[in-house]
Amino acid sequence: MSARAPSPAVLLVVAGLACQEVGASIAVLLFPQVGPLGMVLLRLAFSAVLLLAIARPALRGHSRAAWRAVILFGLVLALMNGLFYLALERLALGVTVTIEVLGPLVLSIVASRRASAWLWAVLAFAGVVALGGGGWDRLDPIGVLYALGAAASWAFYILASARVGREFRGLDGLAIAMAVGAVVMLPLGIWDAGSALLRLDLLALGAAVAVLSSTIPYALELIALRRLPAAAFAILMSLAPATAALAGFVLLGQELAWLELVGIALVIAASIGAVRSSARAARETAEPLA
């Protein structure tokens, strides 16, 4: 009976991943109307409005260091989302997410400080090579650079999020950072989307992307984390490239070569291996203290 208990939590994580990729697919379909940077503005702005309404963060009583941390977090949010959508404009969804996952993967490998971590690094590198699908000319080089930038930004996002989490309670820091990111993206989004931002149908779809890509996944992840061990949760999140590839195929008609699918599988395996290695290292460190 106990072995089946985590199943609902697992389904919550999978549902969150599915919502994220459906949101990303809708965003891609909106690119011809609002452009990638216009889409970033819509996502951040609507996410900020929702989070500010839910969290109602206190703006007083925070140190200068806390404000520096949350502003930096907002800048990282804007950069990460901007580079991700710019990459999506040029690359398939599955390929983009796979490259982006390299950011937290590399961070996990570096943080583990274990010799076995290099195995996962080699496996991830093999996955990246395989993503060429038998020819890197199939991948837009600028799109790859954008995706690598998004990967690096994701690593900084994790570090910045941890710092903000220590300085602000609950969702306060994320809500403020999201608002900062929306303000930063305002001129770029207006420049990219222009008068399309005045269309109610596009605004409604932008709100849907924000809810699907940010609000619902974050809520489901919070619930799942209360029922799942952190390591198990991280392993499930490593499946993001697979759900992205599936969403890209079903919703956008993006077919991948078999070598690209092998590359995605290798990166997923490296992510899972790195998570398990980090969890094992944490247990070994805690045991002498127990």
pLDDT in tens, 156-181: 888 888 888 888 887 888 889 999 99
Q: Look up residue 46 and give its two tokens.
A: 């609507």
- At 138 the pLDDT is 67
Tens-digit pLDDT profile for residues 99-141? 888 887 777 777 666 666 677 778 877 887 777 655 555 678 8
Q: Give the Å distances, CA to CA, from 100 to 43, 70, 104, 158, 224.
A: 18, 23, 8, 13, 23
- d(CA 4, CA 151) in angstroms, rounded, equals 34
- For the segment 239-259, the average pLDDT, to the nearest whole number, is 85
- d(CA 43, CA 212) in angstroms, rounded, equals 10
* Domain positions in the chain: 2-289
- d(CA 286, CA 59) in angstroms, rounded, equals 37
